[in-house]
A and B are shown apart, each in its own frame.
Chain A
Amino acid sequence: MRRGLAILAAVLCMAAAADPAERLADPSQEARARAIFQEVRCLVCQNESIDDSQAELAADLRRLVRDEIKAGRTDQQVRAYLVSRYGEFVLLKPAFSLGNAALWGAPFAVVGLGLLLWRGNLRRRRAVDSEDLSPEEAKRLAGLADDAER
């Protein structure tokens, strides 16, 4: 149902990073590289990590990351290097920065707000005691309800 150029990217995305021709000899280094790949965006693709994409640029980026790791850089340094070269856009995991405060904070702010509203609501309800349905409402509901309900 979906078409367009975008789909080409999907055709090509087949966990390209697993290609044995690209792998690092040291398994622990390779595992670190794979973990980083999953958080790095393939810049020319629609919405994929370089772990998945078979685009040429993704292969270049993978080579770059693997070379950096082989040269003994830490994960942090590799990411910083990628950002210095391609900007923040390259990271699929947005940085914990002031600019992204709204992004990272919002989920928990919504929960907090919800809890506050709930508390306020409980208090207000206790003030206005309207215990049950009105008699007419209860009658109408009973009319609709079935006995199967317990």
Chain B
Amino acid sequence: MGAVAVLELPKTPHPSDDKRWRLVDTTMRRLGNQQRGLIEALHTVQEAFGYLDVEALRYVASSLRVPLSRAYGVATFYHFFTLKPAGEHTCVVCMGTACYIKGALQLVSAMKQDLGVTPGQTTADGKVSLLTARCLGSCGLAPAVVYDHEVAGKVTPAALRDRLAKWNSHVS
């Protein structure tokens, strides 16, 4: 279908009847359903669904008439996009320079000791994902950690362990 550019092409059907696809449609429409809207569309998918799976990439690529390879290329080029669903809770350790020299590695090391996860991994029970960020811009509060979208500053391994314990006790 990539070769046909001028003809009205049939609209790509939604991968499922999930209403969130309409949000994706809105973003694509706002940018004129043009190829240049690819990254914005992927942002919307990730915001709505939490991650980008092959179905989503196929849908966006087909709607914007870009090859699936290009959509996949873009999705894997940028660190912000993830192709795997995150755990129930996410813990993002900032690895910016200020955080690094103030002991961010100790936090990562604590996570590994306690939960056996390294950056990019999710615990086997799907409860906690450990991620790292390049820099949150919260250097004044180094080392910084984002627990489920909430930034915490001057985090010590003990404080991190407290939070992990809280997450675990909530569910079990």
A and B bind: no
A interface, CB within 8 angstroms of B:
none
